[in-house]
Structure 1
Amino acid sequence: MKLVKARLGIMSAVRDYYLTAIAKSVIDELEDEKGLLLEGNNFNHLLFVVDYATWRYQSRDESGAMPRHLQFRLHNLILHAGRSPT
């Protein structure tokens, strides 16, 4: 959540509860709906969650589709998760 706040430039704790709820909902969506197993020590996973949560926060009053760069990264995460180890 600190990274989401840093990305948004928020210094106060006023929005912490809301930002935490957004971050948790993003993680739940990725794990429950997309079938990803997120690893806390994987910076690709971490930064995707930060960017996705930031976009969710910034577009909360809009009804647009996910930006192309997030769609591309999500697609790559899903493809990578589906690979069997070699």
Structure 2
Amino acid sequence: MEYTVLQLVKARLGISTTVRDVYLTAIIEGVMTELSEEKGLVLSETNPYHLMFVADFSSWRYQNRDSMDGMPRHLQYRLHNLMINIGGATSDI
């Protein structure tokens, strides 16, 4: 999943080289860990909604790394929807 998300993030940011791959991969892994361990979400690499959310969230984290601003409403709304969809189940959403 990380490789696919990395390609999506690089496309969104307009990055065509591998210079920032290590840093972007660390952000992506951090986002995925946060979503799974803190939010209890089980992400599926075959679900395009999950892929795009992780890519958008990672892109936002990269672009706002020095900012104290909170998460934008569209990301908050999408995260909330993901958390509701899990419904306390432990299987893929």
Instruction: Bin the TM-score by the shorter chain.
Output: over 0.9
Aligned to 1:64: 69
Q: Structure 1 residue 83: deviation in Å?
A: 6.3
49, 52, 69: which one pairs with 1:47?
Answer: 52
Would you say 1:2 and 2:7 are equivalent positions?
Answer: yes
10, 18, 21: which one pairs with 1:13?
Answer: 18
Distance 1:43 1:83 in 2: 21
**TM-score in terms of structure 1 length:** 0.95
Aligned to 2:3: none
- Percent identical among aligned pairs is 57
Structure 2 counterpart of 1:32, one-letter code: E
Q: Structure 1 residue 77: deviation in Å?
A: 0.3
Distance 1:13 1:40 in 2: 22
Query: Which consecutive segments of 4 or more residues in structure 1 shift more than 6 A?
Result: none
Structure 2 regions of 5+ residues with no counterpart? 1-5
Would you say 1:29 and 2:63 are equivalent positions?
Answer: no
**TM-score in terms of structure 2 length:** 0.88
Structure 1 regions of 5+ residues with no counterpart? none
